[in-house]
Structure formats: structure tokens, C-alpha cells
Structure 1
Amino acid sequence: MSPDVRERTVDSSRSAILEAAARCFHERGYAATSIDDVARALNSTKGRIYHHFESKADLFADVFRTGMEMNYAALEPLRKLDGPADRRWVLFARVHVNQMIATRAFQRVVWMGVEMHQTGAPTREQTSRYEDLIETRSRYGDIFRELISKARDEGRFHFPNLSIANQLMFMTLNSPIFWYSPRTGETRADIEDLIAQVVTCAWRGLGATEGLKNDA
């Protein structure tokens, strides 16, 4: 096997483990999920997982990291766009909500990781690891924070406290990870309508000066 093929095989195996782990953590929570559970979800052995990850904590952290990498990658094509900040925010918000739906299990793990960090990780090594992950998440949040701040400066959004507005905005945009579940016969048009409704709620919460158009 050539080095390139071997590398692709390793990456594919690792990705499959992360997908299975994300589903397990999402469905069961961190404490109730074991490496055995992930192995069963893969129809594989624990050895396959331990070949890539030293522990459950290591696996969980990598699911968290992967969820954030997915979000950054989804936003990247929009980062250089010009125009009024509020219109750019709409595009960013729609992409973000789509991520909350399309990669919901990974995003729920991100949320769990934040909670675990706030309550205190059990070891010094895990504390350091989560601090790095939280910092990555904070930098992602700053992308939106800067947009809504600029939109307020431009007179398009109206809110008194930037930090509070940013937190409340993300509570709305992130909300599908808690209540969304796919429906039988659901179409892409249905998903787009759901995304539009969530973004509109956040838009209004930011005190927008005009209605939100579907073609924004």
C-alpha cells in the first residue's frame, strides 16, 4: 500500500470513529458513553478506536475540535465578502444554523464540552485541552460579535450591550441542536424554511431597523 493510500485509509477510519462517537455522545451524554458503545456503533472492536485515541476523553475532545473545524470551514467562503454588516450577518447566520442542523451531533458535543469546562475537567491535562478548545470556540464567536458591533455602528442593529446581545443571538442560532430532529419526507426546502425562521428570530432580537428579506 502506498503512503498516500495508507494516509487516506487512516483518515477515513478516524473520520468514521468520530462520526460514531459524535452520535453516541449526542444520544447518551459523555458520562454514559463508553468506548464499547462507540465500538458497537461502528460494528467494530475497541482496538480500532484505541489505535487512534488514547481514551474516551481524548476521543470526546477530538469530536469537539472537529465540530468547530466544520464551522470554520463552512464560514470561510464568506469571510471576504463586502457590503453592509447586517446583510453579511444574515449570510453568516444562515450558514451557522445550517451547521447546527447538518452536523448536529458534533455541535451538541461542542455544547457539552463548554459545560464540562465550566464545571471543571477532572484532570490538569483535560483542563488544558478544553481551554484550547474553548478559545477556538471564542474566536469563532468573535466573528459574529464583530459583525453585529459593526452593524450597530452603521445604525442597522440596535441593542444596548454587545456581550449580552451576542450571547442571546447565539442562544437562538444554536437552538436547533436541542429541538431539531429530521422528519419523514423532509425536503431541503423545509430545512431552508426552518433556517430562515431561526435567523429571523435572531435578527429581530438584535433590533434590526428593517424587515429581513429572503434574498438577503
Structure 2
Amino acid sequence: MASGLRDQSMESSRGDILDAAANCFMERGYTETSIDDVARSLGATKGRIYHHYRSKADIFAEVFRIGMDMNYAAIEPFRNMGGPAALRWQKMAFAHAVQMVVTKPYQRTVWVGVKMHLRGATTPEQRSVFEELLNYRTEYANVFREAIIQGRQDGDFHFDDLSITNQLMFVTLNSPIFWYAPRAGETRADIEYLAAQVVTAAYRGLGGEEKGKRP
């Protein structure tokens, strides 16, 4: 019993650290964020952080991984659903857009990681970890890619270049991580309305025939 409580306390402590770190990475980026910044945001000592993580790089990788885990969990109920691929895409896209809002610090950290990798701003040691994380992200993106390919084959989507369309689709679906800001009194319904508008814009970009339909 005591061991179980200790495990729960450890997980809670790690979660608090990751939440604080995600906010710091979102606000300052990777380079400008220090362990001191995370500790101040958490209201704790650096010792508490080093008790769980060896370095800032380890924390960053964990935030990135959890951000992607959250995305996978959100779309999981719809990945293998029957019916038209366009409807499957709508359901997944809506779940994804909601994640961009409700877990914004984690999702913005994922974006920071992708940008670092593309710029080559990683050490050789970090590179192997980043490649693993980016492969994880690519596998996630491929779930959507397969849905829009099938949707085009079904005649529900109309677009020319798959690669360009796929990139523009994610630019739209990910966009809340750049412009969304919580409002006083905001409800879950408000967030879902916002997500639905984002999905509508992405759906139109795919040449969806039932434009504007809320998933």
C-alpha cells in the first residue's frame, strides 16, 4: 500500500514538472528555457527536477512524447471506424483540433522540436532521440494521410498534389497552437465550436463536398 502511494506521488511530481516545462518551452523555446526557469514556474527547487530527470533535453523529449501520446489517444476511437473515409477524417481532425487547444503547451513543444530538427539545432546525442520522436509523429500523420487518400478515391475529396495538400491540412489543423488564447468563462462547448471551425477550413482545403459540416 505504502509503495503504491509512493508510486502515485512520483507520477504526480513528474507530471507537475512536465506541465511546468511544457509551458516554459511554449513561451521561451528550447534554447532560452533553463532548468531554473522550470523550477521557478513549478515553485520548486532544481533538486526536485533533477531527482526525476537528468537534463533539460530529457524533459523536452518526454514532453514531446507525451504530446504525441495525447494525440494518438484522442484519435484512437476513430482510426478504424467503418463508413466513408471522409467521415473518419472529420472525426479524427476534430479530435486533433481539440487537442491543439486543450493541450496547447505540449503541442507547441512538439512544434518546437520539429523546428529544431529541421534547422539541425540538435546535438549528435539528441539527434537519435529526435529521430525516434519524429518517426512517431510521422506515423501519426500517416493515419490522416491514408484517410484523405481513401477519401479522394471515394470521390469525397478533390485535390491534386497529395504532399502539398497534406502539409496544408496540418498547417490548418495545428494552427490553434499559434493563435489560441483562453478566454474568461470559456466552456468546453466554446472550445469545440472553435475546433469545428478549424476542421471546416481544413475540410474545404481538401475539396470536401459537404463543406462546413460539423463532425
TM range (shorter): over 0.9
Read off the aligned partner of 2:201 and give its amino acid letter: C
Structure 2 partner of 1:32: 32
| Offset from partner CA, 1:158-178 (integer Å, 9 cap, x none) | 111111111100000000000
Structure 2 partner of 1:196: 196
Structure 2 partner of 1:10: 10
In terms of mean alpha carbon deviation, does 188-197 or 146-155 score higher? Answer: 188-197
| Offset from partner CA, 1:45-92 (integer Å, 9 cap, x none) | 101111111111111111111100111111112223111000111110
CA distance in 2: counterparts of 1:2 and 1:38, whole angstroms: 29
CA distance in 2: counterparts of 1:194 and 1:169, whole angstroms: 16
TM-score (norm 2): 0.96
- Alpha-carbon shift at residue 20 of structure 1 (Å): 0.4
Contact 2:116 2:122 in 1 (8 A): no
- Alpha-carbon shift at residue 199 of structure 1 (Å): 0.4
- Across the aligned residues of Structure 1 and Structure 2, the Cα RMSD in angstroms comes to 1.2
Contact 2:24 2:38 in 1 (8 A): yes
- Alpha-carbon shift at residue 12 of structure 1 (Å): 0.9
Moved over 3 A (4+): none
TM-score (norm 1): 0.96
Structure 2 partner of 1:205: 205
Matches within 5 A, 1:52-201: 52-201=52-201
Flag structure 1 segments of 5+ consecutive residues without an equivalent: none
Identity of matched residues, %:
60
- Alpha-carbon shift at residue 5 of structure 1 (Å): 1.8
DSSP 3-state at the match of 1:136: helix
CA distance in 2: counterparts of 1:161 and 1:175, whole angstroms: 21
CA distance in 1: counterparts of 2:81 and 2:64, whole angstroms: 28
DSSP 3-state at the match of 1:52: coil
DSSP 3-state at the match of 1:82: coil
Contact 2:79 2:88 in 1 (8 A): no
CA distance in 1: counterparts of 2:133 and 2:207, whole angstroms: 31
- Alpha-carbon shift at residue 190 of structure 1 (Å): 1.8
CA distance in 1: counterparts of 2:81 and 2:122, whole angstroms: 42
Contact 1:81 1:88 in 2 (8 A): yes
In terms of mean alpha carbon deviation, does 44-53 or 98-107 score higher? Answer: 44-53
CA distance in 2: counterparts of 1:131 and 1:54, whole angstroms: 20
- Alpha-carbon shift at residue 181 of structure 1 (Å): 0.2
Q: Go from structure 1 to structure 2 and tell me whether the alpha carbon gap of 1:122 and 1:87 turns closer, same or farther (over 3 Å shift).
A: closer
